[in-house]
Homo-oligomer: A and B are copies of this chain.
Amino acid sequence: MRFTVTYRLFAGSSDQAGQRAADIALEQTVEIPRDVVPKGYVEDVILGKVESVKLEAEGRYTAIISYSADSVGGELPQLLNVMFGNTSIQTGVKMMDFQLGPQLQAQFPGPSFGIKGLRERLHRPTGPLIAPVLKPQGSSADTLAEIAYRCVLGGADVIKDDHGLTNQSMAPFKERCEKITAAVARANRETGGHAAYFPNVAGHSEQLMEFARFASDVGAGGLLLMPGLFGFDLVRRLAADKKINLPLMTHPSFLGPYVLSPETGFSHAMMFGALQRLAGADISVFPNVGGRFGFSEEECQSIATACRDPQGLGRTMFPSPGGGMSVERAGDMHRMYGEDVVYLLGGSLLRYGSRIGEGIRDMRAELAKQIV
């Protein structure tokens, strides 16, 4: 069984693009000169095959290369390694898409909950989800728990840690997790709601599974993960863990360089959509257009499409644009993202001070107006 990867190549002619594609097929598999590739299994099966090279626009080509599932074995890191390991170090090539085929798809089922599963857990069958972020780093667990409590009273669906809250002494993971989970539960009892707290699972890599189990045991509603710092396989591993059994939200920290150059790395849709979904994330956070980062409306749209594409791998997942959201922009955002979206509300919410719940309430009311 073979799977395919689609690359965008920047080349001066179709001959050059064809040569480039053949070089990638070698580089990503046998990594030896073509003339010494052993006959038989290695040449016939393992060596990547250029399936097609087509002109996309002047100087730009689309190449599809197929690889054997044997090259991957059973593991996500090796799947990524075959797709783009060494080729990531070359310019003039961007990874745009992949199709796993039935064999690998059975090994990589994607999100465990997805949009539908998460909506059920949160009892929010329709409309955008609202997710305030607990900040700033340096606050005590009690302070953060108090903010979380007020946000849930205000109607938040998801309360997430700032990605900069890890295991520092000001608010160590377990203390923070316990206190905030308790605060969210208390607010849920008062409102009759089902808001979920997503603590940021971060520390030494050897602590992460223990932290995730702890979060599950004390009643967290999901987990925030940083694949750029801990590897995509952490997401896969936690998505597959039916004992921990929590929805996963991924954060883009340390992943920027993969998308910022037009002629290297991944498309935005691949990095913040398809790859997150492949790993098993239920919600993918990315920097929203109009915030402090430079993603364009088109790039943000492409991410949302990849997250929600019914033809994509496994269950559809939530795109989660971070930054750039305000009551004033709610209409524009709704036209852009529609209903299946998780809006992160960041630092500007702190301007409400102890009335932070009102910020959530205002946003909810404004978004409700958009749905006719």
Contacts and interface: CB of A to CB of B under 8 A. Distances in A.
Contact of A170 (B70, B135, B202): B70
A71 B162 CA distance: 13
B136 A168 contact: no
Interface string A228-267: 1111111001000000000000001111111111001110
A314 interface: no
A204 B231 CA distance: 11
B205 A231 contact: yes
A35 to B, nearest CB: 8
Interface string A72-104: 111111101110111111110000000000000
Interface in A121-141: 135-139
A66 to B, nearest CB: 15
A136 to B, nearest CB: 4
Contacts of A42: 136-139
Contacts of A170: 46, 70
Stoichiometry, as copies per complex, reads 2
Given A166-B78, A167-B78, A229-B80, A31 B347 contact: yes
A287 interface: yes
Contacts of A254: 80-81, 84-85, 88
Interface stretch (A22-30, A215-223, A324-332): A22-30
A164 B89 contact: no
Given A46-B138, A70-B169, A230-B233, A29 B164 contact: yes
Interface residues of A, number: 86
A46 B168 CA distance: 11
A57 interface: no
Interface in A29-75: 29-33, 35-38, 41-42, 45-46, 70-75
A294 interface: yes
A350 interface: yes
Contact of A203 (B32, B75, B230, B252): B75
A162 B80 CA distance: 15
Contacts of A137: 29-31, 42, 46, 71
Given A70-B169, A164-B81, A233 B256 contact: no
A32 B347 contact: yes
A260 B264 contact: yes
Nearest to A84: B254
Interface in A260-282: 260-261, 264-266
Interface string A342-372: 0000111011000000000000000000000
